[in-house]
Amino acid sequence: AMIRHYKFNVVMTNTTKLCSSKPIVTVNGKFPGPTIVAREGDTILIKVVNHVKYNVSIHWHGIRQLRTGWADGPAYITQCPIQPGQNYIHNFTLTGQRGTLWWHAHILWLRATVHGAIVILPKLGVPYPFPKPYKEKTIVLGEWWKSDVEELINVASKIGTAPSASDAHTINGHSGSISNCPSQSSYGLPVRAGKTYMLRIINAALNEELFFKIAGHVLTVVEVDAVYTKPYKTDTVYIAPGQTTNVLLTANANAGSNYMVAATTFTDAHIPYDNVTATATLHYIGPTATSVPTFKKTILASLPPQNATWVAAKFTKSLRSLNSREYPARVPSTVDRSLFFTVGLGANPCPSCSKGIRLVAGINNVTFTMPKTALLQAHFFNISGVFTDDFPAKPLNPYDYTAPVKLGVNAATMKGTKLYRLPYNATVQIVLQNTAMILSDNHPFHLHGFNFFEVGRGLGNFNPEKDPKIFNLVDPVERNTVGVPAGGWTAIRFIADNPGVWFMHCHLELHTTWGLKMAFVVDNGHGPDQSLLPPPADLPRC
């Protein structure tokens, strides 16, 4: 194992897209930002230096951070933000994980432009559980606003509504030919006929679930969220913000041909959404030329409609853990803590807001309030008054979750910085029940500090008698971000073997902003190596 050093300079960078320029926050001047490449077992030290006017913090999405919660990054959860002119070294070891993850800013809406890939290769000499691809490419999907994103959300939160949707999606920073700007350059993916490639796809968009497709080609999913899956062949990948998906692509067309690569919105409900499809080109390089695209016509992809719930559902239901001898699925078969969380959007009265209400979101009707000091510090140093550990294990007043509910009945939420306390090593089951408090929408839920198994999902209200009987406890998909279906539920299980404070939230930034978030506090165990390590000396203070 190696020690790898990275320096992330957070700077303002003038960037032109969709025929207009604006200064954006970037890492090292790049959009998407630099890729971290390491091997399983390596230790990574990343020095983040804040050269901008905003407070900054960076999260390493999906990295387990075993006992190193101080390096996790979400502002006010595990650390105070890095203030302008300050810096912080994130120091962590990649234990028991290999695959594609990503990093992103975890404060304000900065992750719109502050994000990049993390590629964890297997240990030296350890092969993939599938034939070695000829080449690997990272595909980062994003969203682009012509206006200033921070301004947008500030104004929207003042008036209590949703900000406008992005102006374009991006594929590795390019929006492609179907944008409002004809001169917009598009991303090219050169391939050689007969070779197999691995694409490491990341949905880094703020608010949009996406379909990803390559015309004329079948994709084989082999990994999600840095966990190997049974190979699954599909022509469309559904990917929610926060999720990563590795696919094998066999270039089985003729040299000289061109095929459209597309990323387009999937939305169950949420309005407004961005209806601009980002495109790139898969071009077959000739037998002699190196990477020169030919001028043949590009074969277009037929895209699913934007409300194609059935496409997203089929994809999600088809994923299985590899569960091989080398990579067994260790699904908890018993449950120490059984939690039932409603997740949904609601509204609170707001006399000063434009419609008299403020859109909010909540888990068990609790809208999470961000603390003024980091929760992990409050936990470690026993600072009282920062949080309470009385997060409800189930809704206070059960109701018919998928029936539309009138304002003033279940739509209102209470505020609080409430955490749920878990004993070390507890096996935990959470049923995430989507609600129709205001409108029903998919919620990609992300848990920090753990991977979980998705043991079941269904439509309607979860039935505690019937549904657990058909849970998959053998080879359910293991991941860190899962879509809670609109009008339905999903059940996840994990082992609380990582002491610290761990955020759980919807990865649609808009919904997180409205309060669709909570945190777990996991106590230390009693054995050696069962405690949170002490904080590093340079940990940012509030």
Retrieve residue 464's tokens: 């505690």
Site for ligand C2O in 234-263 (CB under 6 A): 242
Site for ligand C2O in 141-180 (CB under 6 A): none
Closest distance of CB 449 from ligand C2O, Å: 10
Retrieve residue 529's tokens: 């190596």
97 half-sphere exposure, CB direction, 13 A CA radius: 30
| Chosen residue from 61, 90, 169, 358 binding ligand C2O by CB under 6 A | 61
Residue nearest ligand C2O by beta-carbon distance: 61
Closest distance of CB 135 from ligand C2O, Å: 27
Distance separating alpha carbons of residues 177 and 481, to the nearest angstrom: 31
Q: Among residues 69 and 160, whose Cβ is nearest to ligand C2O?
A: 69
The number of residues in the chain equals 542
Distance separating alpha carbons of residues 160 and 182, to the nearest angstrom: 35
How many residues make contact with ligand C2O (CB under 6 A)? 11
Which residue stretches of 278-435 are H helix? 309-318, 375-380
Query: Should residue 104 be labelled a site residue for ligand C2O when binding is judged by CB under 6 A?
Result: yes
Query: Should residue 420 be labelled a site residue for ligand C2O when binding is judged by CB under 6 A?
Result: no
Adjacent-strand bridge partners of 103: 60, 116
**135-156 burial, b if ≥16 CB within 10 A, otherwise e?**
eeebbbbbbbbeeebeebbeeb
Query: Should residue 90 be labelled a site residue for ligand C2O when binding is judged by CB under 6 A?
Result: no
Distance separating alpha carbons of residues 234 and 445, to the nearest angstrom: 23
**Quick one: CA dihedral 16, 17, 18, 24, positive or negative?**
negative
- Are 264 and 120 spatial neighbours (Cβ–Cβ below 8 Å)? no
- Mention every residue, 6+ apart, whose C-beta is less than 8 A from residue 462: 340, 431, 433, 489, 491
Q: Among residues 67 and 507, whose Cβ is nearest to ligand C2O?
A: 507
Closest distance of CB 509 from ligand C2O, Å: 9
Query: Should residue 266 be labelled a site residue for ligand C2O when binding is judged by CB under 6 A?
Result: no
Query: Should residue 503 be labelled a site residue for ligand C2O when binding is judged by CB under 6 A?
Result: yes
Closest distance of CB 61 from ligand C2O, Å: 4
Closest distance of CB 524 from ligand C2O, Å: 23
Query: Should residue 115 be labelled a site residue for ligand C2O when binding is judged by CB under 6 A?
Result: no
| Chosen residue from 90, 443, 446, 493 binding ligand C2O by CB under 6 A | 446
Q: Among residues 467 and 509, whose Cβ is nearest to ligand C2O?
A: 509
Stretch that binds ligand C2O, among 256-264, 345-353, 424-432, 499-507 (CB under 6 A): 499-507
| Chosen residue from 67, 169, 320, 448 binding ligand C2O by CB under 6 A | 448
Stretch that binds ligand C2O, among 179-187, 228-236, 324-332, 501-509 (CB under 6 A): 501-509
156 half-sphere exposure, CB direction, 13 A CA radius: 19
Closest distance of CB 109 from ligand C2O, Å: 13
Q: Among residues 105 and 436, whose Cβ is nearest to ligand C2O?
A: 105
The interface mask with ligand C2O, positions 321-350, x = CB under 6 A, is: ------------------------------
- Are 477 and 330 spatial neighbours (Cβ–Cβ below 8 Å)? no
Closest distance of CB 60 from ligand C2O, Å: 9
Strands 337-349 and 298-299: unpaired
Distance separating alpha carbons of residues 178 and 262, to the nearest angstrom: 10
Q: Among residues 281 and 451, whose Cβ is nearest to ligand C2O?
A: 451
Closest distance of CB 240 from ligand C2O, Å: 11
- Mention every residue, 6+ apart, whose C-beta is less than 8 A from residue 272: 162, 164, 165
The interface mask with ligand C2O, positions 15-54, x = CB under 6 A, is: ----------------------------------------
Distance separating alpha carbons of residues 187 and 298, to the nearest angstrom: 13
* DSSP assignments along 140-158, one per residue: EEEEE-SS-HHHHHHHHHH
Distance separating alpha carbons of residues 435 and 343, to the nearest angstrom: 6
Contacts with ligand C2O, residue ranges (CB under 6 A) = 59, 61, 74, 104, 106, 242, 446, 448, 503, 505, 507
